[in-house]
Structure 1
């Protein structure tokens, strides 16, 4: 579904820079025990005979553990200790009067650490033997891929950002996109995020919901594939964050970081050709400080942990105004001449055409003035936790977290007052209980949680709050600047167009300061947001360990989520105005509620005075051949919050159950098998439930879409040839279903209708000298658009294709890992992910009716059912309605079936921290191809999961198959740190973070007459190559010194992109602007849109013709965007962050 008018494109603002490389890849050694804890397991044998010893007492202790945990080996000498918080452990073995201690055993989230131990029964009694060998780094019972990030990695590896999502790139096959981190070929909106076992994923889109600051984090588990049946609702990755807890020791820290603008190199600009305003963002400062403290309330029974950390930041946007020149000619040498603004007849080079640099294709410009406008933000991280233990086997935890924040940003392409301010609050509350029974063979875990997000925004200028947002296109800064008082005198004077004999330095240019490729924003704040999302969740899991043909760990669980969303649907002033000044065209978009089509039963006898307007739209039932219109009785919703039709409340209910068995057939051979079942019930907005849809005449119930029968089997096999947990060969297959974000509830199941009217400027009143044409506000009360230029998007409502099935992907993984040296392992793995089915909205009648469907497929059984229903219907009106639906549903099959194939070969090497050195590196070779990028429409910037414009219109599907935006064939990552121990003088640490990666595919895009810019793939996807291969290096320098008993003071410096390579992060793919000028420097032109050239090449583009407002090709060639293939975003410049930490 198209709605780019109200969706803030988070992609191509051109003001921000993407930080280079978001990841380090390496398979994790994880086998899920719990989302917040890990386990230790192994076998105890006689060192001489190999006899397996029963009755050995094994005890785990750690500063991370409030109470010691104990197990006794069985008749096969095996033991397992579960529910261990992440950290380093001392494992002690007691057998008769023999005692062995093995320290430095690291336990991670969801990870089983193998500790196999040999005992010498001839050893003298009473002696404590300390084992110095390290535990293996490989979990030989798990096929899970990903990485576990501990607090030492966070502390010593330099990565941009201060919250956990900035570390997630430390995983195989991961890369950053505009909304987060994507894993294994999926988009970033396909992930699930958990904090202390509670789902904190953003409800509307699926982004990170609760960005916890790093100082509060104990460990992060990133799962990128191969996960067991405990995990679901994700076709990307799963992220588990465990925050710190209190223990029997008081400990904590006071910390602060400061990133000043003085330690940031100047950002390299990305100027926009044919625009007179360029903007470059530079960090002024980013700072945070805080404390965290944990300890006992009642030793061995009750513990606390608290943390508080404010964060502040400012970004300075340098705004440069410029004018084009007309004083040069191209010499025979290929270079431009010196500037001489006289006519050729006078010995100069002025010809009435703007000068162009032959080397870059950019217009030559003079800088007029610069101005700095600043965006400020602040936020607060607050965390409180209580842990309690009735007994070592029965423990609980209660956590509360709050993350308030605010920002204020000026307008950039227009008056500063056209900017906005926003505030947000994220709250998480959770409670967890675990119990062990039956000699720890039975475990029960229960978790309940509440996640809540609020967000609201408003304009900076209160006097404009009730005015519509108006965007001016294709005009002159020389008119708009003085008109709205937003530009300096130097800019206004420099942009003056006076003609010969005036002060205009280039008098033969009709427009010195064109705004051809950048709009100018005036008026009110536009789309007004005031939303609240909540998730109430509960889950219960039971684990049972039994002996039967080996060892079985059987786990069963159930969970449920009740998700709600409340959001606004309004524009300030009741409308959004696009004023195409150079084309004498004004377009007004409103939210509308439709009572029904004129003459329909819903309209007859209507007494609701709100519905006092008429909305028309082209009748596309005949494919637009006859050119008729449909007329609806409607209400244009106001811009006043709380008015009828401006508030939408949605609800989704999810539940799932699973059963899995980890069967250890032999100590070195494990079979993991599981089955997960999921359901998702997406409901209509409250005001629509149990009503008759006036557009489809269908009786609406409570549930709009029920996704059931989501059976997700998982199976994996592992073999450890060393029999000591130092190797594994493994394979895994699994199916994973998507959890549909709630954006679809707000839009498709919330009765959303857009009404757009296109006027001739002459219909809007007299010329406004501030604009150079009419003011679009003059058309707000004009009833009839020019030439019938009215369009309803969603005029026939939204249908659900009968028999629609859930979206899923299948995954195959295979590989091996081997510990070649103590503390060092290598690995090779292959991962394939293939999209099996997609849910998207399609339209078979030219965007009149949208159908939530599986593009490319519709059940034959459902077709027969509908045909039978038509046959049994006597009512001619009902029969006609059903026949029309049958035609539309059959049209679903004509659409290309969505595809996305990800194939990756990964080479990894990990050396865990030992003897002062930690290293982790990898190389990934991957391909991501198809025609469906995922829940983000990277190409046009739309963020509407499952209802994007990607499959709305059949004519736009051509040329979409190829390398997808996530396709980066080569990715090299290397992380490491080394600590120099100076004894009493302290210690110094050097850390590095190296990234090198391929660029992304580039395209040639054009506009569509209904959907706007960047919707039509003129050429096959990726045919024009890709952006540059890039690389960057970060360095961490730290020094710490003890300053008292149990106290340590640390200072550090993190440097990013140290050699200041501001590589090309993105380019302008828009070949044909939606509006083109009739000639260079012209002030008039025409709308242009174009259909794809199926299988075409770059040379074919000169023959492409525009299409008219009904999709018919004209004889007018398309015009090329002067900014096409120019860089529009770059990676962040060199910068540095200072830090201070006092631990105690």
Structure 2
């Protein structure tokens, strides 16, 4: 009731002043130059070429503000009595308030126009937001290492790239939110960039890395706000083209890889794109259009090399290798029946046999269309349509090329926005609706194999597999183990480290993501002990995914030749008395630990290998809504307090096909909502002070709480009952030995359900996940503080500190060795929820139900024994910005930051598992030791320098040079071991980060452009972008695997952490058997441990041309 009364007062008193997510504002104070007194009644007109002007009057304190200004350059004109003063080249950024203060010389004679060409300060005196704004000049004149806006995000201080995008302020890249023209376009499944707009269509990019107000939420990383170009009263546009041939790419440095019989390296064949963009009036001063179209093409050349091992060398006393002599040692040679090992690397010595090129191709077509309408300057609307169809093909690499896949996608966005200034400009209302959609389809590279299972072959060699699956005659001859064999005492071409893939592509998809969103905001300005700018709003999102569960041929086969054949398939289950015809099979599994007497036999449907068939499309849904209110209170023109609160709710729902079915863990029917996150109050408070009183400085501080929006990958994994049915067979049951495989073909067992799996039958996922009562939302708290000062005109310096830390995390965990999963807040389960569950147990009379609840209680209590997730980010940033018109621009930053803790966030970088809120970290409690330390994001020193300069030769053209320099600390190194159940890199054998970090890295990119004017106001430009010009390929990643899941020779191994251990302790690490018991056998060491496993891109160049008009 109180909030409603407040809103009524605001509506009655207010004068609207605000800017939307796609616009900015200009504000200032006009004073008398002689007396310093405020001047009320000054007429202020803001105008820009080709767009309608806007007008305001200064109030009693001489203050004014004009908002809803599209990003760009403006002229501000002041009229007072008979004085006219005009200030040009005033830059307005998206979501930024540009301060334009002015002292009028009222004693000056009137009648003339005083023109001042002086840029306004680059400081927003009303906002505590940290980050950077990138305009179209930056995108055009800098060597951006990519063609979409994501490639430019690394310019923000405190940002760094990771495996899925750009991360900000110690977070992962999956914790950001992305907006295009005010509409959320973040990918729904994981949280990646959803709509990759190409740079030629972009007017401005706002990157907020911290300190953002209550208008923004659902992010624990950064906010990226992209504003595309719009039409005006002038026809403007360009035609552009970019070409990156493989010939302009330097030779990539090789990284050591333990010898398998197939090596694959990928090189760019070419990348090309071209297009046009055009904007102009439909009806002058009323209706404008903008349209852009840009096809893009790429080819990747994979060099596929086959090689064989040798048995003809020995290690000499001086640790060097002898010459090759393939005779037996007993006959005076060096052959001893074991493959040669290089003593320097520990890798097998190999000989190259043959190589071939296999090509991958991609093509996409970017389209953007926009219409802007102004009924009046106070009533404006916008409609935007964006589409990106794409397709490509990927050949098989470790097997026949026909085993690859083809894909096609369509990303589309439709949005509409309306802004109204009502009641004599006393009320401003903005409403936005939008739809973001992504379709993704995958099919077989060779259509004939669409209905063929993918079969992964282990425990064999190219000498057996090559002739039947299309390897070259040279490879088949050199790999054959026969009488003509050069090295008859070894297997020439073993495939121990890498499997060989035959058959179809495996997963087939018809995936869909769709977000329908709407937001409405109201802004008022109230004079009471200063000026209050109060903004309130509400937004809602209906997020839907359809995830495909379909395998080519209906199954996936793992064939350990001669030992065991595993057949895996997607299934859906039903009760044994279910009458539906499609549940025509019987599937078996093991009971859950919480209910040993639970059913283990179900009717089931082996899901079809035809995507779209019944049961293969699983629908997930999450409903988000939020409301916020914030007040920007200017006590004086140079003192501002921002205070606000945001409330969020998230409702994660069970997959549609589960609702009403019986939950096998709880024996209760599934409802609609699986997890409801309520009570997510996120307060924000900030204070700013401008000691110059002219907008040339600010000292600020901000505290805020930010909640995560859980991606829909969690819905599919935890609330969609993804069931994989594993059936393991003795090879003899699958038929006679196939000479092309060296043992029986697993396809026979996959095709005949009547063959009983004699080794194992088990369903994974049949019991879903328990949800701990009282689970609360994941959030972090942030403190930022800093100062900015315009030392001289157009030179801004900044100093800031930032602290971020998790307050609570949502993860799935297990207390019984990964047999039962619980969605919970690790380390935290409330006593209140425990009391409620105990009361339920006490009131339950059924013995089986009571036992089940008691087992759940025992597990929920153990949630508290986990270490609470920690991620602490502490940063100091120094920044500068120098701008002189559109000809000279430079910016730089130095960030000293530490990111420490035991939980990196939504990406598990150490084992490369990308399952937001469902990583493997809390699945095996015995592996939690040694995880506290510097996280993978910990790069203490990061230097960024950007700049460009245009020298105008007038009628002889103009020359532009741009420079982009980066230097940063290397990543922490670790010693990781395997777990017999979860595979590689699950165990921190030593405490995180105690064995140093990779080397310091740096790189320099250059842009060179020459443009020349043409008749009829046109201009042509050619340019060259050079990347990593001194070819420092450095260390992008280090092999942290001390011991792999399979040692040389193929046997499985596992290891537990050495709590508090040192590097010297690694030689004493012993193998853990399948029962978790330590054995006397030392763990098998990875010969590539601590070596470079990935490098940065080599030097390369890109050429281009642009015609503007």
TM-score for the superposition, normalised by structure 1: 0.93
The question of 1:939 aligning with 2:920 is answered no
Would the alpha carbon gap of residues 785 and 808 (structure 1) be closer, same or farther in structure 2, given more than 3 Å must change? farther
The residue aligned with 1:528 is 508
Contact 1:458 1:528 in 2 (8 A): yes
Distance of 1:622 and 1:742 partners within structure 2 = 29
2:33 to 39, 47, 58: 47
Alignment of 1:280-299 (within 5 A): 280-299=265-284
The residue aligned with 1:4 is none
The residue aligned with 1:188 is 173
Would the alpha carbon gap of residues 772 and 1104 (structure 1) be closer, same or farther in structure 2, given more than 3 Å must change? farther
The residue aligned with 1:585 is 564
The question of 1:466 aligning with 2:451 is answered yes
Q: Deviations over 1:82-114 (max 9, x none)?
A: 000000111110101100011111100000000
The residue aligned with 1:740 is 710
Contact 2:1024 2:1102 in 1 (8 A): yes
Alignment of 1:603-1002 (within 5 A): 603=576, 610=583, 612-617=585-590, 620=593, 630-780=600-750, 781=752, 789-914=760-885, 916-1002=887-973
Q: Deviations over 1:201-233 (max 9, x none)?
A: 111111111101111100000111000000000
The residue aligned with 2:7 is none
Distance of 1:757 and 1:909 partners within structure 2 = 62
SS at match of 1:208: coil
1:784 CA displacement: 8.6
Q: Deviations over 1:359-400 (max 9, x none)?
A: 333322211111111110000111111111111111111111
Q: Deviations over 1:570-610 (max 9, x none)?
A: 222222222234x8233332223233xxxxxx546767661
Distance of 1:1029 and 1:459 partners within structure 2 = 43
The residue aligned with 1:503 is 484
Distance of 2:974 and 2:740 partners within structure 1 = 37
The residue aligned with 2:6 is none
Would the alpha carbon gap of residues 260 and 209 (structure 1) be closer, same or farther in structure 2, given more than 3 Å must change? same
The residue aligned with 1:1124 is 1089
Alignment of 1:53-64 (within 5 A): 53-63=39-49
Distance of 2:603 and 2:999 partners within structure 1 = 53
The residue aligned with 1:493 is 477
Distance of 1:74 and 1:832 partners within structure 2 = 39
1:163 CA displacement: 0.7
Contact 1:594 1:694 in 2 (8 A): no
Contact 2:404 2:504 in 1 (8 A): no
Distance of 1:33 and 1:118 partners within structure 2 = 25
1:971 CA displacement: 1.0
Distance of 1:695 and 1:632 partners within structure 2 = 14
Contact 1:794 1:847 in 2 (8 A): no
Unaligned runs of 5+ in 1: 1-30, 596-601, 1079-1084
The residue aligned with 1:11 is none
Q: Deviations over 1:957-982 (max 9, x none)?
A: 22222221111111111111111110
The residue aligned with 1:5 is none
The residue aligned with 2:1020 is 1049
SS at match of 2:457: strand
Give the superposed CA RMSD: 2.1
The question of 1:1138 aligning with 2:1103 is answered yes
Contact 1:1091 1:1107 in 2 (8 A): yes
Distance of 2:938 and 2:690 partners within structure 1 = 34
The residue aligned with 1:262 is 247
Q: Which moved more, 1:1087-1096 or 1:319-328?
A: 1087-1096
The residue aligned with 1:158 is 143
Would the alpha carbon gap of residues 516 and 887 (structure 1) be closer, same or farther in structure 2, given more than 3 Å must change? same
The residue aligned with 2:14 is none
Contact 1:57 1:95 in 2 (8 A): yes
1:744 CA displacement: 1.5
Would the alpha carbon gap of residues 572 and 70 (structure 1) be closer, same or farther in structure 2, given more than 3 Å must change? same
The residue aligned with 1:515 is 495
1:763 CA displacement: 4.3
Q: Deviations over 1:181-210 (max 9, x none)?
A: 111111111110000000011111111111
The residue aligned with 1:568 is 548
SS at match of 1:744: helix
Would the alpha carbon gap of residues 1115 and 608 (structure 1) be closer, same or farther in structure 2, given more than 3 Å must change? farther
1:1093 CA displacement: 2.7
Distance of 1:870 and 1:201 partners within structure 2 = 43
The residue aligned with 1:252 is 237
1:705 CA displacement: 0.9
1:245 CA displacement: 0.4
The residue aligned with 1:330 is 315
Alignment of 1:327-476 (within 5 A): 327-438=312-423, 440-476=425-461
SS at match of 2:155: coil
The question of 1:1088 aligning with 2:1053 is answered yes
SS at match of 1:864: helix
1:1109 CA displacement: 3.5
Unaligned runs of 5+ in 2: 1-16
Distance of 2:475 and 2:380 partners within structure 1 = 68
Contact 2:364 2:388 in 1 (8 A): yes
Would the alpha carbon gap of residues 1110 and 760 (structure 1) be closer, same or farther in structure 2, given more than 3 Å must change? farther
Distance of 1:784 and 1:1008 partners within structure 2 = 31
SS at match of 2:797: strand
Question: Greater relative contact order (Cα 8 A, min sep 6): structure 1 or 2?
Answer: 1
Q: Deviations over 1:587-639 (max 9, x none)?
A: 332223233xxxxxx5467676615323223754599xx9x995555443332
Q: Which moved more, 1:169-178 or 1:1001-1010?
A: 1001-1010
Contact 1:32 1:111 in 2 (8 A): no
Q: Which moved more, 1:277-286 or 1:793-802?
A: 793-802
Contact 1:267 1:281 in 2 (8 A): no
Distance of 1:524 and 1:185 partners within structure 2 = 41
Contact 2:990 2:1057 in 1 (8 A): yes
Contact 2:207 2:225 in 1 (8 A): yes
SS at match of 1:1062: coil
Contact 2:573 2:583 in 1 (8 A): no
Q: Deviations over 1:278-304 (max 9, x none)?
A: 111111111111111111111111111
Distance of 1:704 and 1:629 partners within structure 2 = 23
1:335 CA displacement: 2.2
Would the alpha carbon gap of residues 173 and 520 (structure 1) be closer, same or farther in structure 2, given more than 3 Å must change? same
Distance of 1:443 and 1:1143 partners within structure 2 = 37
Equivalent residue pairs, number? 1092
Contact 2:665 2:770 in 1 (8 A): no
Alignment of 1:20-35 (within 5 A): 33-35=19-21
1:783 CA displacement: 7.4
The question of 1:316 aligning with 2:301 is answered yes
Distance of 2:1068 and 2:602 partners within structure 1 = 40
The residue aligned with 2:287 is 302
The residue aligned with 1:1106 is 1071
Would the alpha carbon gap of residues 1123 and 632 (structure 1) be closer, same or farther in structure 2, given more than 3 Å must change? farther
Contact 1:696 1:797 in 2 (8 A): no
Would the alpha carbon gap of residues 1018 and 764 (structure 1) be closer, same or farther in structure 2, given more than 3 Å must change? farther
Distance of 2:742 and 2:1061 partners within structure 1 = 40
Contact 1:271 1:278 in 2 (8 A): no
Contact 2:592 2:820 in 1 (8 A): no
Contact 2:399 2:501 in 1 (8 A): yes
SS at match of 2:921: helix
Distance of 2:641 and 2:927 partners within structure 1 = 46
Contact 2:594 2:665 in 1 (8 A): no
